[in-house]
Structure 1
C-alpha cells in the first residue's frame, strides 16, 4: 500500500494574531459543529481508491484546532478510521494554543488517537506575546505544557518566532534557553515574515511604524538566526530542515512527507492536496491516473460547502513543475535530495537536467554533493531563496 498523509484544517481561532495570514477567524459553537459535520461528509466522500493507500500521518492544523471539543476530534478520527487504512504507528498531530487547553480536552484527544502536540508559544516574554496578539501568557503556556505531559503526551513541538518587534538578541536567547530547559522533543523556530493583509504588514510596511516597538535591524535578526542553530545543537536538538530542530528520532514525519512529496489529502476550507490522479473525484479523472495533481479547496465557507464533493477539477502538474518542486522542497532538508530518487521518479539523470546550476552553486560554496546526495551548505541555507531560483526551468 502506498503511503498517504492527511491534513485537516480547523479555521477557528479566538482572535487573529497580528502576524497571521492563515485562513482563520472566530466562530460560535453552532458554526464549529456545522463545520465538523462538513468535514465528516468530505472525508466520507473520498474515492474507493483510498484503499490502495495507508495513512502514515494526520495533521490537525489551523486556526486553532484545540478549540474543538474532544468529542468533535473523536468523531473526525472515527471517520478517518472508517474510510482509510491507518498505519499502526501513524503520527497524529494537533496544533494547540495554550489559551485553549483543558485537562478534559487533552484526555479526550489522547483517547481519539492524537499522539503529538504542536503548541504555539512564540516567545517567553509576555510583552512580546502581547505585541503578537497572542491570547496567553508564558505562565499559561507552562501550565498547558505540564498538563500535556501529565496526560501522557510524550511527543511535543513548541513553535517560536524570532525578530519580533522590540525583541533583542538577548531576549531571543532567553526564549530559546527557557524552552529548551523544558525539554520538548521538537522545536520549530521561524523568523517573523510580514505578510500582506496582516496587522503587522499595515503597521510596519504601509505605515512604517512611526510609534511603538521597532523591528530588530538586519544585524540583530542575523545574529538571532545564527544563535538559534548554535544553541539548539549544543542542547541536543538536531537541525533537520531550515526552520525545524528535533531530538534524535523526533523529526516531524508529517512535515518530512511534504518536503519529500509524499501524496497528501487536505480536508476543510482552503486545504491543499497533492495526489496521484486515482485519488481525485471518484474515478472521474482517469486521464490523471499515475500523474501528480494539485488542488485547493475554496477559501470561502459557502463555496467550500457546495464544492467539496467535486474535487476532480484539479491542476495537473507538468514534469517541469514536479522537477522544480522536487528540488525546492528536498533542499530544505539538511540531508538534501537523492540523485537516485530523482532518476527513478523522472527517468532522467539529475545532472542532465540541473548539471549547470549545480556546478555554479558548488563553485560558490552554496551547495555540496557526494555520489548520491546534494545538500545546501550553511552559507547556502542562509541564502536559500536565492539558491532555489537557480532550479527554475523554462517550459
Structure 2
C-alpha cells in the first residue's frame, strides 16, 4: 500500500477543469450574498522555483513586471467590485498566497492592500492570512503587514538542516529561517504557522525530529507536516528523485507521536495545533470563495473556475500575459460545473479529512441522503479501523489515528471515475512537456 497517492487539498483537481462557454461571474455572484465568505489573492512570483513545486509561479520577474501584474489585479478588483454591489458581500477571510507574496516590495504590498480595502468589504473581526519565505521576510514588510491587519503568517521552513534544504532546491539557509522566525514572533501576530517536509532525500527520522524540536523553541501556534511529493513538472522529477513512501510514513509516525507527546493536537494529517487553542467545529459547507490574480481558483456553488492549469515556465508566462491583457475579468472561460454527486464527494473530502470529521445529520440535511449509503467505502473504512463513529450528539464520523495518517491514501478513494478520467487525459496530453530544455515524463 502506498500511503501517498495524492494530496487532496482541493476537489476536483485543476487538471479536471475544461473550457466553459456562456458562463459569467454575474450568473453566480448570488452565492456571495451576505457575509462569511473568503477572498483569495494569488501573487505568482518567486525568487527561485523549489525542487518539489509545480504550483503556478514564475521566477526572474523584476519590479516593472510585478507592477504590470498589480495593474491587472486592480482592474480585475474594480470589475468584481461593481458586481458585488448587488449582493452586499462581506468577506470574513482574506488569504494571500503564491508564489511568495513577500517577493513584492513594501510599496507594492501597500498598493495591493489599498486596492483590496477600496474595492471590497470585510468583517470587523476578519482573518488575514499571508504566506512568506525566510529570504523575503524583513522587519519593514512585517511592520507593514501588521498595520494592514494581518493576523496569521505562514512560513515555509521545510527543514533546519542545510543539506536537506539543498536537496529540496530551497533558496534559503537554516540561519535565514531562524532569523525570519525571530522577526515574525517578535511582531506579535495572532497566529504563526511553520511548514516542514518529511521524506526528503538524505533525511532521517532523527534529523526530522531535530528540526521539529528547534521549531518548538520559537513557540509557533501551528505546525504543518507535508510529505514530499515529486510532481510532474517539478525540478526533482528531472533529477530522477523517487520518494520512499514507506520511509516517509515511518518518519510521519515518529513526528506525529513526538508533537502529540509535547502537547500538540492533531487536526489533520498535516496540521498540528498547540493544545491551548480550543478546537471548534465549523462546517466547511461548500467553501464559497472568490479569487483574484492569475492561477487563483474561485468556488461559487457548483462552479469552480480559474485559468488553465500550467506547469512549465513558458506556459506560466503565457497565462500571465493573458491575464494582464484581459479586458473582461467577469467572463469565465475555464473551470468545471459540479454535478450533485461531485458536490457530495467534495463535501465528504472537506469534512472527513480533518477533525472532528463529518457530522452525519448535517450531510443528510444538505443532500437528503445518508453518507454511508451514498458511499459504501466509508463502511469499509470503519471495518478497517480507518474511521469510527464518535459517541457524541450530534454524531460524527471521524478518521482514527491510523486513518488520519493515511489521508492521502483514503481521500483519493472518493474521487469519481469521471474526474479520474479527466485528470488522466490531462496528464497524457502533457506527458512530454519541456521545462528548461529537459524532457518531462509522468
Superposition TM-score tier, normalisation by shorter sequence: 0.7 to 0.9
Q: Is the 8 A contact 2:194 2:223 kept in 1?
A: yes
Name the Cα RMSD after superposition. Answer: 2.4
Show structure 1 runs of 4+ deviating over 6 A: none
Q: Is the 8 A contact 1:115 1:153 kept in 2?
A: yes
- Measured in 2, the distance between the counterparts of 1:94 and 1:266 equals 14
Per-residue displacement from partner, 1:192-223 (whole Å, max 9, x unpaired)? 00111111112125xx7xxxxxx5x4543222
Per-residue displacement from partner, 1:39-62 (whole Å, max 9, x unpaired)? 122122112257443211111111
339, 343, 357: which one aligns with 1:318: 339
TM-score, normalisation: structure 1: 0.86
- Measured in 2, the distance between the counterparts of 1:34 and 1:144 equals 29
Where 2:355 maps in the other structure, the secondary structure is coil
Q: Is the 8 A contact 1:43 1:267 kept in 2?
A: yes
Give structure 1 stretches of 5+ with no counterpart: 209-214, 277-291
Q: Is the 8 A contact 2:222 2:273 kept in 1?
A: yes
Per-residue displacement from partner, 1:318-341 (whole Å, max 9, x unpaired)? 101100111122111021111122
Per-residue displacement from partner, 1:342-370 (whole Å, max 9, x unpaired)? 1222233334423x333222112221114
294, 299, 305: which one aligns with 2:304: 294
Question: 1:72 deviation in Å?
Answer: 2.2
Structure 2 equivalent of residue 28 of structure 1: 62
Per-residue displacement from partner, 1:22-77 (whole Å, max 9, x unpaired)? 11122101001111121122122112257443211111111110111233222222
Q: Is the 8 A contact 1:180 1:235 kept in 2?
A: no
1:40 aligns with 2:74: yes
Question: 1:150 deviation in Å?
Answer: 2.5
Q: Is the 8 A contact 1:155 1:250 kept in 2?
A: no
C-alpha change, 1:271 and 1:129, in structure 2 (3 Å) is same
- Measured in 2, the distance between the counterparts of 1:114 and 1:3 equals 18
Q: Is the 8 A contact 2:382 2:388 kept in 1?
A: yes
- Measured in 2, the distance between the counterparts of 1:4 and 1:375 equals 26
1:359 aligns with 2:359: no
128, 133, 139: which one aligns with 2:175: 139
1:340 aligns with 2:361: yes
C-alpha change, 1:200 and 1:393, in structure 2 (3 Å) is closer
Question: 1:248 deviation in Å?
Answer: 4.1
TM-score, normalisation: structure 2: 0.77
Q: Is the 8 A contact 2:93 2:126 kept in 1?
A: yes
Structure 2 equivalent of residue 304 of structure 1: 323
Structure 2 equivalent of residue 110 of structure 1: 146
- Measured in 2, the distance between the counterparts of 1:52 and 1:344 equals 27
- Higher-RCO chain (CA-CA 8 Å, sequence separation at least 6): 2
Structure 2 equivalent of residue 201 of structure 1: 237
Structure 2 equivalent of residue 272 of structure 1: 297
C-alpha change, 1:65 and 1:359, in structure 2 (3 Å) is same
158, 179, 188: which one aligns with 2:215: 179
1:151 aligns with 2:187: yes
